[in-house]
Amino acid sequence: MPTRRYFDQELDQLRARVLELGQLVKTELHEALRALEELDKELAKEVIASDQAVNELRFTIEDDCFKLIATQQPAASDLRTIIAVINIIVDLEQIGDKAKDIAEAISQVKRYQKVEQPSALKAMGELVASMLDQCLQAYAEGDIELAKQAASREAEVDQMLETVVSNVIEHMAKAKKEKKVTASMGILGVAQQLERIGDLVTNVVERVIYIATGSVEELNVEP
Amino acid sequence: MATKMTQPKIQVQDFNFFYDEFHALIDLNLAIQQNEITALIGPSGCGKSTFLRAINRMNDTISGTRAEGVIKLDGEDIYAPDVDVVELRQRVGMVFQRPNPFPQSIYDNVAFGPRVLGMVHNGNLPQMVEESLTDAGLWDEVKDRLKDSALGLNPGQQQRLCIARTVAVKPEVILMDEPCSALDPVATLRVEELMRKLAETYTIVIVTHNMQQAARVSDRTGFFWLGKLVEFDETGTIFTSPREALTEAYITGRRG
């Protein structure tokens, strides 16, 4: 008979809750990007409102972790799992915050309807969203290689940010209306949030690796 | 935690131990560092207590036992033919699972060792008793009733009295065989605090079934399984990222 069936069930439940949080954040990001593309202020409002559920679930999971530490005296991989979860949920919540920031920027972008969203911005959003999907799948399956694949795309995100910045500067230089400049500033802000989401996904990947190996491997460090 | 790796206080090399035909300890190799607390963990019957008793040759008193290999104390093999076992046990003292004070006064319990070993000179015994009781964290609680029977102390105090009795003969190493298993949680924590203090002066090796105790109190931990030392490392490493899957399974409570 397994000696720690209750504890194993609790750990399974903890993983399920982290994935639930991941799913909420993923939806928040996808919807924020859709709202941006369609300049849909109503959808943006829904995204902003949905962030509250992300925050609440994060604190519920944190509380679960504290209870498990206090009552089960976890060690080795059990302890690493719980400590990693405490960190992962913070990163996921911050990704949710960034998605909310993107949704909030939509009214700014919409101030000048004709402003052209750089194609790199859309590509950047799709890339970052797919990195998050891949990272969550890697966490669910404990797949280090898949996790590393997700993090390895961060450099592409950085390059896309540079492209978006140049495009935006170009637009701003040509802009004759203040509204157009404001909208361009909004786009720039969105691109920066997406770049930051890429960093946060990499943090989660580092924790997925830590759970499996016990060593902290800092990924994508600038030389 | 002491991190420098100087000459170990105790060096174990290819050590094997037998109870008649039963091979109880198999090819042990490890180094126990001076002024550190080394914890030995593992399931019942894994050999950890046998190994502890091998360090001061307490197993010699059991007929049919046989040791092979080397255990060096400060570089000298304690199993060499010319070793004085009484002197060895004075250098390597032991505290047992259940407090076992003699049915004498508190004072006489502590004075027993120095008297028997001829360590009393020029009226220094009262000072030795006070120092030992102070080292054991018991002086303030008993200084006004030194002539009372030791059997009147509570279990936690009795165990600290046994520690005072052990340190009274000025050992270099203290072996502790599940010293807190008969104590309540508060008395246990007092003994653990005391161990930290004692480690400033002595080298301590403790056998414990309480893994949290090993994690709390020791610098290094050795995990025994079926007579073998499966893993020996810094305690922080053993309890967060053990190298061996068997260690992981044991300390997470999934095998034992």
Q: 3-state secondary structure string, chain B?
A: CCCCCCCCCEEEEEEEEEECCEEEEEEEEEEECCCCEEEEECCCCCCHHHHHHHHCCHHHHCCCEEEEEEEEECCEECCCCCCCHHHHHHHEEEECCCCCCCCCEHHHHHHHHHHHCCCCCCCCHHHHHHHHHHHCCCHHHHCCCCCCEHHHCCHHHHHHHHHHHHHCCCCCEEEEECCCCCCCHHHHHHHHHHHHHHCCCCEEEEECCCHHHHHHHCCEEEEEECCEEEEEEEHHHHHHCCCCHHHHHHHCCCCC
For residue B2, what pLDDT is reported?
47
Q: Is there a contact between B166 and B90 (Cβ–Cβ < 8 Å)?
A: no
From A2, A74, A76, residue closest to B241, measured CB to CB:
A76
Percent of chain B at pLDDT above 90? 91
If you average pLDDT over every residue of chain B, what do you get? 94
Res A222: pLDDT = 62
pLDDT at B192: 93
User: CB–CB of B134/B166 below 8 Å?
Assistant: no
- The contacts of residue A158 (CB under 8 Å, 6+ apart) are A195, A198
Cα separation, B9 vs B31, whole angstroms:
8
On the question of pLDDT at B174 being above 60, the answer is yes
| pLDDT score, position B255 | 81
- Give, in order, the Cα–Cα distances in Å from B229 to each of A183, B13, B44, B46, B47: 68, 12, 14, 9, 9
Going by C-alpha positions, the residue among A46, A190, A28 that lies closest to residue A122 is A190
C-alpha B256/C-alpha B245 separation (Å) is 13
Q: Mean pLDDT throughout A68-95?
A: 95
Show me where the domains of chain B are located. Answer: 10-100+171-251
- B229 burial (CB, 10 Å; 0-12 / 13-18 / 19+) is buried
* Closest by Cβ to A73, choosing from B212, B240, B248: B212
Alpha helices in chain A (DSSP H): 5-38, 41-72, 76-109, 119-141, 144-151, 154-174, 178-213
Average pLDDT over residues B203-221: 95
- DSSP symbol at A113: T
Alpha-carbon distance B47 to B45, whole Å? Answer: 6
Q: What pLDDT, in 10s, does the model give residues A43-68?
A: 999 999 999 999 999 999 999 999 99
Identify from B252, B254, B255 which residue to disrupt to test chain A contact, counting A C-beta atoms within 10 A and taking the largest count: B252
Pairwise CA distance, residues B160 & B188, whole Å? 10
With beta carbons under 8 A apart, name residues in chain B contacting A4: 252-254
Q: Could B251 and A77 be called an inter-chain contact, meaning their C-beta atoms sit closer than 8 Å?
A: no
State percent of chain B over pLDDT 70: 98
Is the minimum CB–CB distance between B254 and chain A shorter than 8 Å? yes
Contacts of A144 (CB under 8 A, 6+ apart): A138, A208, A209, A212, A213
Res A217: pLDDT: 79
**In the numeric block, which tokens belong to residue B242?**
């053990």
Size of interface A-B (CB pairs under 8 A): 36
| Whether domain A3-213 has CATH 2.40.30.10 | no
Q: Count CB-CB contacts under 10 A for residue A36.
A: 26
**Structure tokens of A123?**
């590509």
Task: Quickly count: other Cβ atoms within 10 Å of residue A157's Cβ.
Answer: 23
Which pLDDT belongs to residue A114? 67
> pTM value?
0.84
Instruction: Quickly state the pLDDT bin for B215 (edges 50, 70, 90).
Output: very high
pLDDT on residue B199: 95
R_g (Cα) of chain A, nearest Å: 19
Per-residue pLDDT at B1 exceeds 70: no
What pLDDT is stored for residue A108 in this prediction?
A: 86
Q: Taking CA atoms, what residue in A is nearest to B254?
A: A3
Residue A132 has pLDDT above 80, yes or no: yes
How many Cα atoms occupy the beta-carbon half-sphere of B118 within 13 Å? 2
Confidence band, pLDDT 50/70/90 cuts, at residue A180: confident
Q: What is the pLDDT of residue A115?
A: 67
Cβ under 8 Å to A: B residues 228-247: 239-242, 247
Q: Where are the domains of chain A?
A: 3-213
pLDDT band at B46, cuts 50/70/90?
A: very high
Task: Give Cα separations from A194 to A8, A37, A137, B18, B190 (angstroms).
Answer: 36, 14, 20, 66, 54
A4 class by beta-carbon count within 10 Å (0-12 exposed, 13-18 middle, 19+ buried): middle
Q: Is B101 on the interface with A (CB under 8 A)?
A: no
A216: chain B residues, CB-CB within 8 Å: none
The partner residues of B205 in beta bridges, in order of sequence, read: B38, B175
What is B10-100+171-251's CATH superfamily?
P-loop containing nucleotide triphosphate hydrolases (3.40.50.300)
Structure confidence at residue B73 as a pLDDT band (50, 70, 90) = very high
On average, the pLDDT of chain A sits at 92
Give the mean pLDDT of B171-177: 97
The Cα of A2 is separated from the nearest Cα of chain B by a number of Å equal to 7
Taking an 8 Å cut-off on Cβ atoms, the answer to whether B252 and A215 are in contact is: no
Question: Out of A92-106, B14-28, B176-190, which region has the weakest mean confidence (pLDDT)?
Answer: B176-190
Of A221 and A214, the one with more pLDDT: A214
Please indicate whether, in this complex, the C-beta atoms of A75 and B252 are within 8 angstroms of each other: yes
For residue B66, list its beta bridge partners. B18
ipTM greater than 0.90:
no
Higher per-residue confidence, B56 vs B4: B56
Closest-CA residue of chain B to A212 = B241
